[in-house]
Amino acid sequence: MNLHFLWYLGLLQVLCKCTFIAEGLGWNWGTRASHPLPPDIVVQLLKDNGFNKVKLFEAEPAALKALGNSGIQVMLGIPNEFLAPLAGSVRAAEDWVQQNVSSFVSANGVDIRYVAVGNEPFLSAYKNTFSGVTFPALKNIQAALIKAGLARQVKVTVPLNADVYQSASNLPSGGDFRSDIRTLMVSIIKFLSDNGGPLTINIYPFLSLYADPDFPIDFAFFPNSTTSPPSHPLVDGSITYTNVFEANYDTLIWALEKNGFPSLPVIVGEVGWPTDGDPNANLINARRFNQGLIDRIVQNKGTPKRPSPAPEVYLFGLIDEDVKSIMPGNFERHWGVFYYDGTIKYNLNLGRGRTLKPAKGVKYLARQWCVLSPDASLVDPNLVPSVNYACTYADCTSLGYGSSCGGLDARSNASYAFNMYYQWANQQKGSCEFHNLGVTTKIDPSQGSCRFEIMIDVGKHESRRSPGTTNSSSLAATPLSYPVMILCLLISVIWKITAIHTYAG
């Protein structure tokens, strides 16, 4: 066999593998935004960055259509409020699968791999609201997938919060499921195991730091060659844990092993770091955490208790969501690696010389801002009510203590609030009045780390094509179209055969 031919085959195989950045890396695509990026732009953003896995929290037709024939694998979520009706009726589950899975797989070519039944339904804060309906809903969805002939392609899972397990010793080896739901958890896990489905767990090192002011900050991050070892490692027998992610994940693996499921596949459904809304939520910390996480995924690195296979990981999140609930904290609207408009917050090394690429084709409102008038008095009785009104409707979470705009003076603080409302209202006439306290300006009032936004012009995006029109870009060349998949497979097979014959002979 000609060695030059073998070399070319090897090169082609490498090029095929480089199409996607990391096979184990997925992204959570949340859509709780006042001015959402059009789905076709989001899908192109994923493809441009070589990302081939995405998780949707609910079945949104526009997002699913845009994902059609894209080469992107989808985990499709079912919100908790749907669990009761799905649990109470097999027919309801069959209808849900037909409308949200079967139709998009067959008509749009959406590559749905998982249906995620519920979202952290056993949180202690829910006070057992969903404890009685999650497992029945899971079984009915599985039955519906079987009836639809999709059970081999589409697996069921349940995304759970890490509070479903605990350790009496505070060590991973002491891990077991929470006593009040242990029997239920074992039943669900057995069902998943019997049907080839993985368990999905959400792990948030940031929340460990947020909830406990004494939590050692270096233990929240992944150590690397440029950082010092953590000052507070966790020693569990022969294993020394250097970060809370591994310790948390292995606590689950111990719990599974103790209950008879040592090999059950586990997906990390949500993990990430926010960039605003709290003193520890900033660009530096977010980049440090997410870069460490991506390095692990690129290296296919597991954990001490389960070094292989490395878990499939869905990073939270892709894009900021400015109308998401802030009940857990102001940081909830700032988990995105990209800002609301798909611009890059901080760069990440994705491996193989690749870095992040921003969204393309985004249309904006006019380049103008609403600010507090230079003539306005800070003691005007209408000022405080106007700021409160603006922040009731628009997102002012960046103004909080330790946040990106927390250092503004009183006048700039009011200007920020006015502008957020003005942009939220699509710069409509009258939306910058505030009892004659606001004026518009074409001079960007941003200061330091505090960005005064201009929103996406949703109207321009909606007018580009009529509803129901096929997104031609999603049908064009994709990062890994089916012909390329076949070519890569053939090259891989030929490479192995020729290599065996060449070096064996």
Band (181; pLDDT cuts 50, 70, 90): very high
Q: What is the pLDDT of residue 10?
A: 46
The answer to the question of residue 333 being in a domain is: yes
Please check whether residues 128 and 238 belong to one and the same domain: yes
Whether the pLDDT of residue 250 is over 90: the answer is yes
On average, the pLDDT of the chain sits at 89
Residues 6+ apart with CB under 8 A from 410: 378
- CA–CA dist 115, 270 (Å, integer): 15
- Rg over CA atoms, the chain: 25
Predicted confidence at residue 498, as pLDDT, reads 38
294 with 349, same domain? yes
Residue 308 is assigned to a structural domain of this protein: yes
| Model confidence at 466: pLDDT above 90 | no
- Is residue 124 domain-shared with residue 201, that is, in the same domain? yes
> How far is Cα 402 from Cα 28, in angstroms, rounded to an integer?
26
Whether 7 is in a domain gets the answer: no
Quote the number of domains for the chain.
2
Q: Which of 70, 65, 69, 79 is nearest to 30 (CA)?
A: 79
CA distance linking residue 410 with residue 37, whole number of Å: 32
State the pLDDT at residue 227.
72
Residue with tokens 């949200």: 100
The pLDDT value given to residue 256: 98
Residues 6+ apart with CB under 8 A from 213: none
Residues 82 and 26 in one domain: yes
Q: Is 472 helix (H, G, I), strand (E, B) or coil?
A: helix
Q: Is 50 exceeded by the pLDDT of residue 487?
A: no
Q: What is the DSSP letter of 477?
A: -
Please tell me whether residues 263 and 121 are part of one structural domain: yes
More confident position, 492 or 157: 157
pLDDT by residue (tens digit) across 93-102?
999 999 999 9
* pLDDT confidence tier of residue 448, bands split at 50, 70 and 90: very high
Reduced 3-state DSSP string for 29-77? ECCCCCCCCCHHHHHHHHHHCCCCEEEECCCCHHHHHHCCCCCCEEEEE
- Strands 53-56, 349-351: pairing is unpaired
Domain-embedded: residue 477: no
Measure the CA angle with vertex 450, ends 444 and 452; round to 5°. 40
Confidence at residue 467, expressed as pLDDT on a 0 to 100 scale: 36
Residue 312: domain span: 22-355
Q: How far apart are CA 153 and CA 76, in angstroms?
A: 13
pLDDT of 22: 62
Q: Residue with structure tokens 């330091």?
A: 448
CA distance 281 to 416: 20
Q: Are residues 299 and 417 in the same domain?
A: no
Q: Which amino acid is at 286?
A: A
For 380-409, what is each residue's pLDDT tens digit? Answer: 999 999 999 999 999 999 999 999 999 999
**DSSP-assigned letter for residue 447:** B
Q: In this structure, what token pair is assigned to residue 352?
A: 């193989």
Instruction: Provide DSSP, 218-247.
Output: GGGS---TTSPPPSS-EEETTEEE-SHHHH
* Residue 135 CB burial class (10 angstroms; 0-12, 13-18, ≥19): buried
Domain-located, residue 471 = no
Q: Is the CB of residue 101 less than 8 Å from the CB of residue 142?
A: no
Work out whether strand 354-355 and strand 349-351 pair parallel, antiparallel, or are unpaired.
antiparallel
pLDDT tens digits along 106-123: 999 999 999 999 999 999
300 half-sphere exposure, CB direction, 13 A CA radius? 5
- The residues, any chain, with a CB within 8 Å of residue 378's CB and separated by 6 or more, are 410, 411, 414
End-to-end CA distance of the chain: 10
Q: What is the pLDDT of residue 266?
A: 98
- Residue 403 belongs to a domain with what CATH number? 1.20.58.1040
Say if residue 139 is in the same domain as residue 270.
yes
Q: Are 203 and 248 in contact (CB under 8 A)?
A: yes
CB neighbours of 19 closer than 8 A, spacing ≥ 6? Answer: 50, 479, 480, 484, 488
Kindly state whether residues 409 and 339 are assigned to the same domain: no
Same domain, yes or no, for 333 and 385?
no
Mean pLDDT of 337-353: 96
- Domain end point (choices 292, 325, 355): 355
Residue 344 host element (H or E): none
Question: β-strands 165-167, 111-117: how paired?
Answer: unpaired
Of the ranges 48-57, 277-286, 483-492, which one carries the lowest mean pLDDT score?
A: 483-492
pLDDT for the residue 490: 42
- Looking at residue 150, the DSSP 8-state letter turns out to be -
Residues 189 and 317 in one domain: yes
Peptide bond into 309 cis (omega under 30): yes
Residue 135: pLDDT above 90? yes
| Of 69, 85, 254, residue with least CA distance to 176 | 254
Q: Are 422 and 432 in contact (CB under 8 A)?
A: yes
| pLDDT in the model for residue 463 | 54
Q: pLDDT-derived band of residue 157, with 50, 70 and 90 as boundaries?
A: very high
Which of 440, 455, 470 represents a domain boundary (last residue)? Answer: 455
pLDDT at 468 over 50: no
State what percent of residues in the chain have pLDDT above 90: 84
Q: Write the pLDDT tens digit of every residue in 256-298.
A: 999 999 999 999 999 999 999 999 999 999 999 999 999 999 9
How many CB atoms sit inside 10 A of residue 7's CB?
A: 10
Per DSSP, what are the bridge partners of residue 441?
369
Residues 345 and 413 in one domain: no
Which tens digit of pLDDT belongs to each residue from 11-31? Answer: 444 444 445 556 789 999 999
Q: Which are the catalytic amino acids?
A: 120, 270
Domain identity same for 160 and 53? yes
User: Would 468 be classed as within a structural domain?
Assistant: no
Alpha-carbon distances of 349 from 198, 247, 318, 337, 357, rounded to whole Å: 29, 25, 16, 13, 11
Domain boundary among 310, 329, 355: 355
Q: What's the CATH code of the domain at 51?
A: 3.20.20.80
Higher pLDDT, 493 or 209: 209
- What's the mean pLDDT in 234-257? 97
**What is the pLDDT, as a whole number, of residue 489?**
38
The answer to whether residue 133 is domain-embedded is yes
Query: Smallest Cα–Cα separation from 289: which of 307, 311, 306, 274?
Result: 274
The reply to whether 498 falls in a domain is: no
